[in-house]
Amino acid sequence: MHQTVNNLIQIQNQLKDYNENRLKNYTKIIAVSKTFPTDKILPLIEYGHTDFGENKVQEAIEKWTNIKEKYHSIKLHMIGKLQTNKVKFAINLFDYIHSLDNFKLAKKISDEQQKNNKKPKIFIQINIGNESQKSGINSNELNEFYNNCINDLNLDIIGIMCLPPNDNKGDFYFKKMSELIKMISANELSMGMSNDYLEAFKTGATFLRIGSNIFGNRN
CA dist 177 and 131 (Å) reads 15
Q: Which residues pair with 188 in a beta bridge?
A: 159
- Residue ranges and CATH numbers for the domains of the chain are 3-215 (3.20.20.10)
What is the per-residue pLDDT across 36-70, written as a single tens digit (0 to 9) for each? 999 999 999 999 999 999 999 999 999 999 999 99
What is the per-residue pLDDT across 172-188, written as a single tens digit (0 to 9) for each? 999 999 999 999 999 99
Helix H or strand E encompassing 76: strand 75-78
CA dist 168 and 37 (Å) reads 31
Listing DSSP states for 198-216 in one string gives HHHHHTT-SEEEE-HHHH-
Q: Helices 3-25 & 38-47, crossing angle to 10 degrees?
A: 50
pLDDT of residue 173: 96
